[in-house]
Chain A
Amino acid sequence: MGDQERFLRLFLRCQGEIRAFIGAWVRDPHQREDIFQEVALVLWREFDRYDPTRSFAAWARGIAAKKVWQRWEQARRVPLPFDPETLRAVQEAFERTEGDAELRADALRRCLASLPEKSRRLLALRYEESLKLADIAQRLRSSLDAVHKALSRLRARLQACVERRLAALERLSRGTP
């Protein structure tokens, strides 16, 4: 398998993880995408330095963390939203939680499908159309606070649903009812 194919396989497999990690720090979808592109470029350019005994996603997240930090510094935001230690702590948390990410994604897919259509529509405004809360509130003729509360409840509900599903799968895999 050539370098290119190897890179593609690794990159395609973990690009969701890279996006998620960047998205954790950069809330603007356009800036997020910019950084993702920059990270992708660095990953490809530096691919010959990649140590295959290490996790590709971890390597990518390290590069992404640097890019995020650079972006904050370039933007001259004072104070910087988070410090390097926080980035590192979350980077490590991503690594620790990477193992069940696929299972969680599948569970999330099913949990999302089980939500009432109106709830999914609200989520679509936020996460598919990338609308800000104020825009959603305006579109729905509601208040910002109401939208925030509804989104918070939906996230909590999805999270609880995912945990339940994972627990059920765990029981199944152990053969316990």
Chain B
Amino acid sequence: MRPLGQLIDLYLDDLASEADCLELGRRLRDDPAAAELFARMTRAEAMLGELLREQAVPLLQPGTDIGLAPGRQLPRRGGVRQRSLLAAGLLLLLLSSLALWLPIGLAGGSEVVAGQVLVNGAARRWIPQGARVEVADGDAAIIRLPGGSRLELAPRSQLVWHGSGGADRPRLSLVRGGGCFSVGPQSPPLLIDTPIGSVAAHDSDVAVELWSPPEHEGGPTMNPQTTLAIAVAVLLGQVEVQHQGQRYLLGFGQSHVFAADDDKPAKKSLRFGTVAEVAADGKSFVLERQPAKPGTEPTRWPIRLTDQTRVVYRGVAKGAERPTVGSRAAVRLVDGSEDEAAAVEFGSPEPDFAGRITAMADDGKELTLETFRKDQPPETRTVRLTDATRIRLFDDPKAEARPAVGDGARIWLAAGSKDAAIDVELVRKGRVGSKDPAFKNKGKPDNSGKKPAEGDKKPHDSPKKPAHAPDKKPADGAQKPAPTPEKKPDGDKKPTVKEKKPAEGVKQPGNKKSTEAAVKKPASGDKKASDGPVPKK
């Protein structure tokens, strides 16, 4: 008869035969102590993933020697074991007593894991509750919050860390810049306040970025008058956004821009619509927005592109990166100008589907994605890369990029094709140090292509599943948790949130109504999530 521990080990490693399972079942049933051991081991196993993520273990590279080569044994420590037993025991006691005190001393505090962070003007490793935090210029910073959530903040970002509030919900106010916020399933929901809305995340990874006019980026305040919009992109899971008194659910792969009120001065420099005319030299175009009420004239804005204008194309094939009549566009004007664009984004903001890359063909011409559809098992899709396929990083569209297993990918297909991609946008964690240049300030140094924060090796790329509605209702005033737990990332449906049964009072930015709330009076006929606000990711 196999020892119980060996049987459980086989089972945990998916190596147990049917006979092993029968034997294990019998012993679990007949021996309460065996069942308890099994319960403890499976409980520990369930925790390991989250704990490892907390502790940010770099991934192994192929062929790394970790002492597993056949015939090799893990190092034995018998020699020193006897001698160090006493010392280890004393150390253990010391650690254990420290363990009793540490949680008290650091309650509500956060640790800077990488990068340089100034707390109230001085470089610090620990961030106390209530501190004003600024990421030093140059590199991104990684901060670990109590409870295991992780922030990767772009250089020069600023926030106020409020710590864990009364309901044990960590909360921070993002004042400038942005970053990626990873909140694990075991971590408490994180509330991210911004000047014009709040984002609640749990069991999800979300990128949040504030857009401010250039003159305000140097001296930020938590002032909605100086913030144009917040861009929210869900990399994993699902988040809830509160904006102008409404609640929105954003699912895996979705991005959305929540703009300031129309009556706020900042909002006046944003334009959304469809390209109606393009000048022969391509340096200017007319942006048209359909009226909200039928029978009235569309609004038309002449827009000038200059050498300083940041331009981004999404869902556009290689070589077709130019303004074309009929394509959607989002424009941010130079402050004070009525027609000069500081940034423009052309194309279709929402992909045909999204997923995680699980395999690459040897010739690099094909990639396999695992996509997710509600109530169905994960689906595997193969995407062909052709000469016309553009491949770019989500936060650095101009950089050359090569897909890799583990990357998140948003796929735009060629018209009429089911597998040929024209545009592939890679979401690679640990790149918040670089930014999407589309809506960055002109004249400022481009951070794109900067060294990733602690590299792409972070294990957060694991194909984690998205959020679940019942544990996803942290917003104050929520009327009822969304009763339908969000299943899996709906990678291959455009308005993914449409599948969800929203909680009462929860709007989904994918529908027209919510789009109107997010950006007042969008072009009529806009029905898709992507049609409304700025297609920023």
Contacts and interface: CB of A to CB of B under 8 A. Distances in A.
B219 interface: no
Nearest to B481: A4
Contacts of A12: 188-189, 471
A110 B99 CA distance: 9
A40 B470 contact: yes
B44 interface: yes
A93 B484 CA distance: 30
B402 interface: no
Nearest to A134: B14
Contacts of A140: 60, 62-64, 66, 68
Given A20-B43, A124-B459, A130-B463, A44 B481 contact: yes
Interface string B289-315: 000000000000000000000000000
Interface stretch (A48-56, A62-70, A82-90): A82-90
A7 to B, nearest CB: 7
A159 B9 contact: no
6 nearest interchain CB pairs? A93-B35, A24-B42, A20-B46, A127-B48, A118-B66, A142-B68
Contacts of A119: 66
A92 B33 CA distance: 11
Nearest to A84: B29
Interface in B465-503: 465, 468-471, 473-474, 478-481, 483-488
Contacts of B63: 140-141
B62 A141 contact: yes
A121 B74 contact: no
Nearest to B484: A41
Interface of B: 5-6, 9-10, 12-15, 18, 21-22, 24-26, 28-29, 32, 35-36, 38-55, 57-60, 62-64, 66-70, 72, 74, 89, 92-93, 95-97, 99-100, 167, 185-186, 188-189, 377-378, 459, 461-463, 465, 468-471, 473-474, 478-481, 483-488
Interface string A96-110: 110001001110111
Nearest to A82: B25
29 contacts: A8-B474, A16-B50, A21-B42, A23-B45, A24-B38, A29-B465, A30-B377, A33-B487, A82-B28, A83-B25, A86-B26, A93-B36, A96-B39, A108-B47, A113-B55, A120-B52, A124-B459, A128-B49, A128-B52, A130-B462, A139-B60, A141-B62, A143-B68, A150-B66, A152-B9, A155-B9, A155-B12, A159-B40, A169-B96
Nearest to B479: A4
Given A8-B474, A34-B488, A112-B51, 10 more contacts: A7-B481, A23-B45, A29-B465, A83-B29, A89-B35, A104-B44, A119-B66, A121-B57, A140-B63, A159-B40
A133 B54 CA distance: 23
A104 B46 CA distance: 13
Given A37-B485, A140-B63, A94 B57 contact: no
Interface of A: 4-5, 7-8, 11-12, 15-17, 19-21, 23-24, 27, 29-31, 33-34, 36-38, 40-41, 43-45, 79, 81-83, 85-86, 89-90, 92-94, 96-97, 101, 104-106, 108-110, 112-113, 117-130, 132-133, 139-148, 150-153, 155-156, 158-159, 162, 164-165, 168-169, 171-172, 177
Contact of A172 (B22, B47, B93, B470): B93
A163 B35 CA distance: 17
Contacts of A128: 48-49, 52-53, 57, 459, 462
Given A30-B377, A44-B483, A124 B57 contact: yes
Please indicate which of the listed interface residues A34, A44, A169 has the most CB atoms of chain B within 10 Å of its own CB: A44
A17 to B, nearest CB: 7
A164 to B, nearest CB: 6
Contacts of B89: 168
A15 B95 CA distance: 29
Contacts of A146: 68-70, 72
Q: Main SS of the interface on chain A?
A: helix
Contacts of B48: 108, 112, 123, 126-128
A34 B487 CA distance: 7
A11 B64 CA distance: 40
B185 A15 contact: yes
Contacts of A169: 96, 99-100
A43 B92 CA distance: 41
Given A130-B463, A150-B67, A110 B95 contact: yes
Given A11-B471, A23-B45, A93-B36, A172 B96 contact: yes
Contact of A33 (B14, B41, B465, B479): B465
A93 B32 CA distance: 7
Contacts of A148: 9-10, 13, 15
A131 to B, nearest CB: 9
Contacts of A44: 469-470, 481, 483, 485
A146 B63 CA distance: 14
A95 B398 CA distance: 55
B326 to A, nearest CB: 40
A51 to B, nearest CB: 19
Given A30-B465, A133-B13, A150-B67, A125 B96 contact: no
B69 A93 contact: no
Contacts of A139: 60, 62
Please indicate which of the listed interface residues B49, B54, B483, B487 has the most CB atoms of chain A within 10 Å of its own CB: B49
A24 B21 CA distance: 12
A29 B59 CA distance: 19
A79 B387 CA distance: 51
Contacts of A86: 25-26, 28-29
Contacts of A93: 28, 32, 35-36, 38-39
